[in-house]
Every structure is written in structure tokens, then in C-alpha cells.
Structure 1
Amino acid sequence: MASESPACNICESIISQTIQTDDRKEIQIARHTVNEHFDRLQRELLKELQIIENDKRKEISKILAPVERKEKEIDGLQISLAIIKQHASDLQTFLVSKQIEHELIDTDNLIQSIQNNSELSGVIVSLQTIGMMKSLGNISRFGQTSQSDMSLVRQKIKQAQAKVAVVTKGSLDHQHGTIKTEEGL
């Protein structure tokens, strides 16, 4: 019984390979789960970012619409002023220039009110990942490995082989004795 049988070595090898394969599969499953979680977080963050960007674009468009209208009105008045200068009297030119001045004052007031209401304040959208990355850096493992006690398994296999050998040996002796007895009769 001092040397191990080849069958015992094969069993141990198969058990060891099965354990390693199962462990590797578990690690792959855990990695896949972590990746899926981060993919979902990424999709959610990108969706939130898109919503914020769309909202800010709408706000900016609402703010710019009256300013653009005023700009077109002033451009039209400047064209009118240029035409009037060529074909009208000084009085008419003066009146149109005063009208342009009032439009400029109105436009300036509009821009001042927008600035005072902080509607044109800078919009900064940022993602703070520093803390999260530090937390991830602190993770040293996401599971535990433990070494199985193969000597215990070997010992049990040897015990089982010894019992089988004893039972087999005893059975043969018993059969042999029975045969002798029958011959003697």
C-alpha cells in the first residue's frame, strides 16, 4: 500500500482539473457581471448627459431667439437708414437714426436682463470620477481562493482501496474454502 495506484493518480488529476475549471468559470462569470454593471452605468450616465445637453440647448435657443429677432430688426433699420441717407432729407435720416438708437437701447436692455437673470451663465457639465476610481483602486480582490486538502482526499481513496482489497481477498479465501469442503464430501 506504500505506492499509489495509477487509478488514484488519475482520479486526483481529474478532480484537480475539474476544480480549476469550475474556479475559472466562476471568475469569468464574476468578471462578466462586473463588466455588465459598468456597461449599464455607462449607458445611464450617457443618457443623463444627453438629456442635460438637450435641455441646455433648448434654454439657449429660447434665450437667443429674441436676440436674433432684434438683430434682424436692427439690420433692417440700418439698410433703411442707408437708403434714406441717399434719397431723403436730413430730418428723415435723423428720425430713422433715432429709431435705430431706441432699438439698440431695447436690445441692450434685453441682453442686460438676460445676464441679470443668470440665463447666460456658463453651463458646465462634468462627471466626477476621481472618488469612484480611488474606491475601485482599493479593491484588491473580488473573491477568495482556498487550497483543497488533497492529502485528505488521497487518504480516503487509499482507505477505500484498502477496504476493497480486504473484501476481495476475504471473498476469495472464503470461496476457496468452500470449494475444498465440497471436494471432501
Structure 2
Amino acid sequence: MKVNVALILEDIRMNMYSISASIERIESAIFVTRQQLNHHLDKLQDNFVAEAVKNSTKQIQSFIMALTKKQREIEEWIEDVESIKKHATDRQTFLGMTNLETKLNKTSNDLQSWIDGNHLSQTVVSFHLNTLLHNIINERTKF
């Protein structure tokens, strides 16, 4: 009996050692998988941010620059009108106003084309979580 109990104890201890080693291997595999998933998600996030900057932010910045330029031109024209009012002869006033009217018409047409071309619409950035990832998060509670 003593020998049988000793063999059973040794077998159970070996089983405990085997379980412990298996748990360590499984933990290691889970850790590696988590790192790979995190790395992949980090890459997806970086690509998303790069695309968002490339596609929307640069276009908006370009449009802001164009509008700022138009704003400066309009301010210059206002100064020109004030100067014409103070210092110009009737003929110079007529020629200056005709020139200004041409510029104003072109700017008005530009603004209208921006409005018609949806340049003034709000840009919305969004994403859709892949259903596979969603299922993993919500449905998988055990390994």
C-alpha cells in the first residue's frame, strides 16, 4: 500500500507539474496573441489617422488658404474704394469701379461654385467596427 500511495502521489505531482507547464505555455501564447492583436490594431489606427489627415484635413486646409486669400483681396478692394473716393477724378472713379466690379463678379462666381460644389459641407469622420472583431469582444468569454 505504501508503494501504491507513493506512486499515486508522484503521479499526481507530475500531473500538477504538467498542468503548471501547460498553463504557462497557454499564458505565453495568449500574451503573444494579444501583442500581435495590439500591434495590428495600432497599425490600423495609424493608417486611419494618416488617411484622415491625407483625405480630409489637407483638403480643408487648402480650402481655408483659398478663402483667406479671397478675404485679403476683398479687404484690399475696400481700401481701394476708400482711396478712390478720396483722391480720384470722376474718370478714374469710373475706371476703378468698372475694374472692381469685374473682380467682384469673378469672386462671386467662385464663391457660388464652392457652394454648389459642396466645398462648404461639413466633413464627418467615422468608422465601422468589423463584425468579426465585434463578435470576439462581445461573444468570446472563454478560451
TM-score range, shorter chain: 0.7 to 0.9
Q: TM-score, normalised by structure 1?
A: 0.60
Does 2:120 match 1:113? no
Read off the aligned partner of 2:27 and give its amino acid letter. Answer: I
Coordinate RMSD, CA, aligned = 2.9
Per-residue CA deviation, residues 153-181 of structure 1 (Å, 9 max, x unaligned), is xxxxxxxxxxxxxxxxxxxxxxxxxxxxx
Q: Could you state the TM-score of these two structures normalised by the residue count of structure 2? A: 0.73
Q: Is the 8 A contact 1:85 1:93 kept in 2?
A: yes
Deviates more, 1:128-137 or 1:68-77: 128-137
Matches of 2:137 and 2:60, distance apart in 1: 38
Count of residues paired in the alignment: 142
CA distance in 2, matches of 1:130, 1:33: 19
Runs of 4 or more above 6 Å deviation: none
The SS at the match of 1:118 is coil
Extract unaligned runs of 5+ from structure 1: 143-185
Partner of 2:34: 34
1:136 — aligned with what? 137
Moved more, 25-34 or 85-94: 85-94
Structure 1 residues 98 and 71 mapped into 2: Cα distance closer, same or farther (>3 Å)?
A: farther
What letter corresponds to residue 110 of structure 1 in structure 2?
D
Question: Contact 1:114/1:120 (CA < 8 Å) preserved in 2?
Answer: yes
Q: Percent identity?
A: 20
Distance in 2, matches of 1:99 and 1:67, equals 21
Instruction: Give 1:163-178 correspondences, 5 Å limit.
Output: none
> Is the contact between residue 77 and residue 96 of structure 1 (CA under 8 Å) also seen in structure 2?
no
Q: Distance between the aligned counterparts of 1:57 and 1:102, measured in 2? A: 32
Q: Distance in 1 between matches of 2:33 and 2:136?
A: 18
Q: Which has the higher contact order (CA 8 A, sep 6+)?
A: 1
Higher mean C-alpha displacement, 21-30 vs 95-104: 95-104
